[in-house]
């Protein structure tokens, strides 16, 4: 890991043996991009990677008599608005004369070990031996504004992070109208663009299309990263697969409005951009004030999409997720929501938790309905006081009762929301988002509290702290069940700042609570997977992947999620059937086999299970306790995609290749199937022998990876006396151990 500087040629080379990122100072003082990809040996000069000796017709040029040099065609690091580059800019400013042209030129640089902190935002972190950070300083001579570009490269990982901070040195105000955290100019457009898209109950489905001239983008203007588009954009070479070929990934450590796009210019160069969505953003900087952009994460793989995923998983586990939870085993939980909804009392919860403890479950979570007068979803959000009708002895008494059974105790909150029918609405209507005098839109019968107002954050911090201590909480499920409409704050002068200040308020509350209560496990939720992003992961090491708990649908949701996020972040539970979102009925075994590959838990009423089902659940719980470290810390491989065929398969393998767990699934039976059915594995040691549960013989690693693991004889209409499997909803879990 090193950052090489060629002072004479003003050239910067960040490399760690896996990737190289190279740029330089161009003749106009701005930064030009030279290379990003597989690691290169550092050499005296890389400037020939960017040529300026080719006049391009009908383009602008910066210098009189020098038509070769055009910002319209060169690759840049931090492209500006209005200076001759007609592609999308990284920055757009407006001064007090309403001039939006700026010209930031190179002034100097610094290198430091490790990675500096970022105030007010979630960010990646590293020890001095784990990363190096290059800071490049740019200044606009007219306004005196200064920009510091931050580049951090990590040891032994093909990961680079980018962000910047802009400071106003002008006597008057500056208005920021566009601020991308990262732009990357690539020399060609021979890529497929991939992203994770969907809607409520079908989040993060894998989408792919070919790059073409023009702009292709994903975004959110909902106040949250959203169910529709995850803030993760991928480019892969057309021939690249899960396990071979080049791929580039772009993620955002941010949970609010975002824009990620690929722009292909007329010369088939590609500009990647990621940042706060400019359509709903404007920020005022008075003299001496500064603004820090959220951090963007750039990843590269020459080992396909799976190689990129593995690098991102390792990076998130080492440099983003709280050290308190990075390696800690997450408890197996049971949530009462789909079992009781709002209809519960102490007696019912006593019986519920007794059954849960008998099954070996480790954490009970009391969901919506324990506060105010919350008998349905039309009232009481904001009134975070225990409903004594349901819990006459209070939340502390309930917690003690639960813990006496050997269970941990958790609570559901939705702190960002308020019900029109609530005491808080009567007392503080000015705390609600929306323009006074206009009708307000509802979502799930609720409105949104103004987290851009520090008073709101202070109030919720006080209420939640009191409840955490009274109940001695081990876990909080932080939900957010609607997006923002009528984006107006009575607290703000510049409404263009609202969305960003809102999410900064959310981060502030998270920061204060997680700092004061580091042993409380937070799980983020936003109507399921509507805010499944790296910003949330910084505070909450796991997220409810989707409100859709149907195992068949979860195959696609969990598969897509794994492209960018490790299994230990994926909230995945077994629920009752018929499933409450799809009405589909699947076997308990199938549901468990899918849910293992995540945090694992239950969304059902254990008292409604038959004795046989209870025995099966006990067995599932015992099994997961044996394999959860392998699943959460192992190297994950996607083997068969539910988006491309009739089967889904994946596996997690220990770092030394001595152990592995494999999941294989087939939703629908097809008649007269193939005779020889195997599954090719990954990550094993070729010359080692492996024992596999359910097999009387052992297998060598190379045969399991190249010929495949036998899946057993499938029923074909003539082999009923031999068939080992058949019908719909087939699933098998294989546990491998070096012999």
Residues carrying an active site annotation: 479, 547
What is the DSSP pairing of strand 205-210 with strand 192-197?
Answer: antiparallel
Cα four-point dihedral sign 678, 683, 686, 689:
negative
3-state class of 40 per DSSP?
Answer: coil
CA distance 590 to 575: 11
Contacts of 286 (CB under 8 A, 6+ apart): 168, 173
Tokens of 717: 């209409």
The per-residue DSSP string of 261-327 comes to EEEE-TTS-EEEEEEE-GGG--EEE-TT-EEEPPEEEEEEESBHHHHHHHHHHHHHHHHTS-HHHHS
Tokens of 718: 């003539």
Give buried/exposed letters for 47-75 (b at 16+ CB in 10 A, else e): bebbeeeeeeeebebbeeeeebbbbbbbb
3-state class of 180 per DSSP?
Answer: strand
CA 403 from chain centre, in angstroms, equals: 32
For residues 314 and 292, the answer to whether their CB atoms sit within 8 Å is: no
Beta bridge partners, 699, equal 690
The per-residue DSSP string of 510-568 comes to HHHHHHH-TTSEEEE-BTTBTT-SHHHHHH-SEEE--S---HHHHHHHHHHHHTTS-GG
In 563-706, alpha helices (H) = 588-595, 611-633, 701-706
* Residue 590 phi, psi dihedral angles, 5° rounding: -60, -45
Closest CA to 595 of 547, 663, 532: 663
Element (H, E) at 117: none
CA distance 26 to 28: 5
Angle at CA of residue 325, ends 153 and 341, nearest 5°: 125
CA 131 from chain centre, in angstroms, equals: 22
3-state class of 462 per DSSP?
Answer: helix
CA distance 597 to 662: 10
Give buried/exposed letters for 87-97 (b at 16+ CB in 10 A, else e): bbbbbbbbbee
Beta bridge partners, 381, equal none
Element (H, E) at 506: helix 498-516
């Amino acid at each position: 890991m090193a950052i090489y500087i060629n002072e004479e040629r003003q050239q910067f080379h960040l490399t760690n043996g896996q990737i190289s990122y190279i740029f330089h100072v161009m003749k106009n003082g701005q930064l030009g991009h030279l290379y990003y990809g597989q690691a290169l040996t550092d050499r005296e000069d890389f400037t020939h990677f960017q040529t300026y000796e080719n006049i391009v017709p009908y383009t602008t040029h910066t210098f009189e008599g020098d038509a070769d040099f055009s910002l319209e065609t060169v690759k840049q690091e931090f492209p500006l608005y209005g200076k001759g580059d007609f592609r999308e800019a990284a920055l757009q400013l407006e001064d007090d004369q309403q001039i939006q042209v700026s010209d930031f030129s190179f002034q100097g640089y610094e290198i430091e070990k490790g990675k500096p902190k970022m105030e007010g935002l979630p960010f990646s972190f590293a020890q001095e031996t784990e990363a190096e950070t290059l800071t490049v300083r740019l200044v606009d001579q007219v306004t005196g504004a200064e920009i510091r570009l931050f580049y951090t490269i990590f040891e032994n990982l093909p990961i680079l992070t980018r962000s910047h901070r802009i400071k106003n040195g002008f006597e008057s105000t500056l208005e920021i109208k566009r601020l991308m955290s990262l732009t990357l100019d690539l020399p060609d457009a021979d890529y497929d663009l991939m992203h994770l898209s969907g809607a409520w109950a079908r989040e993060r489905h894998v989408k792919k299309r070919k790059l073409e001239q023009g702009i292709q983008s994903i975004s959110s203007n909902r106040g949250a990263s959203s169910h529709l588009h995850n803030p993760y954009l991928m480019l892969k070479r057309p021939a690249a697969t899960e396990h071979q070929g080049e791929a580039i990934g772009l993620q955002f450590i941010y949970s609010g409005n975002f824009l990620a796009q690929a722009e292909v210019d007329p010369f088939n160069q590609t500009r990647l951009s990621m940042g706060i969505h400019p359509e709903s953003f404007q920020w005022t900087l008075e003299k001496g004030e500064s603004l820090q952009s959220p951090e963007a994460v750039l990843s590269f793989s020459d080992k396909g999409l799976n190689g990129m995923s593995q690098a991102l998983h390792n990076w998130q586990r080492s440099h983003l997720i709280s050290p308190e939870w990075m390696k800690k085993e997450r408890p197996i939980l049971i949530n009462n929501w789909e079992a009781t909804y709002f209809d519960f009392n102490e007696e019912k919860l006593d019986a519920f938790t007794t059954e849960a403890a008998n099954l070996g479950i480790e954490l009970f979570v009391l969901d919506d309905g324990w506060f105010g007068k919350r008998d349905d979803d039309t009232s009481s959000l904001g009134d975070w006081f225990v409903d004594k009708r349901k819990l006459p002895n209070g939340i502390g008494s309930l917690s003690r009762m639960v813990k006496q059974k050997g269970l941990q105790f958790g609570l559901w909150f939705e702190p960002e929301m308020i019900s029109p029918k609530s005491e808080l609405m009567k007392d503080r209507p000015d705390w609600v988002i929306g323009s006074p005098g206009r009708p307000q839109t509802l979502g799930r019968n609720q409105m949104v509290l103004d987290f851009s107002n520090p008073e709101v954050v202070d109030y919720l911090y006080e209420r939640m702290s009191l409840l955490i201590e009274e109940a001695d909480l081990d876990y909080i499920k932080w939900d957010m069940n609607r997006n923002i409409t009528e984006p107006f704050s009575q607290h703000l002068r510049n409404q263009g700042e609202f969305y960003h200040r809102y999410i900064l308020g959310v981060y502030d509350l998270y920061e204060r609570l997680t700092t004061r209560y580091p042993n409380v496990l937070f799980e983020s939720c936003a109507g399921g997977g509507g805010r499944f992003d790296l910003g949330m992961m910084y505070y909450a090491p796991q997220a409810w992947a989707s409100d859709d708990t149907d195992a068949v649908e979860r195959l696609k949701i969990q598969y897509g999620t794994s492209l960018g996020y490790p299994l230990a972040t994926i909230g995945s539970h077994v629920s009752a059937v018929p499933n409450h979102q799809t009405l589909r009925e699947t076997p308990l075994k199938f549901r468990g086999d899918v849910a293992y590959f995540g945090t694992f838990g239950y969304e059902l009423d254990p008292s409604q299970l038959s004795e046989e089902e209870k025995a099966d659940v006990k067995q599932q719980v015992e099994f997961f306790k044996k394999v959860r470290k392998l699943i959460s810390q192992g190297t994950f491989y996607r083997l068969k995609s539910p988006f491309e065929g009739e089967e889904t398969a994946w596996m997690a393998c220990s770092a030394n290749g001595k152990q592995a767990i494999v999941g294989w699934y087939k939703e629908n039976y097809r008649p007269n199937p193939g005779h020889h059915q195997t599954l090719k594995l990954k990550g094993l040691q070729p010359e080692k022998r492996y024992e596999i549960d359910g097999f009387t013989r052992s297998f060598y690693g190379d045969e399991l990876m190249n010929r495949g693991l036998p899946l057993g004889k499938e029923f074909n209409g003539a082999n009923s006396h031999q068939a080992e499997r058949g019908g719909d909803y087939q699933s098998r879990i294989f546990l491998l151990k070096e012999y």
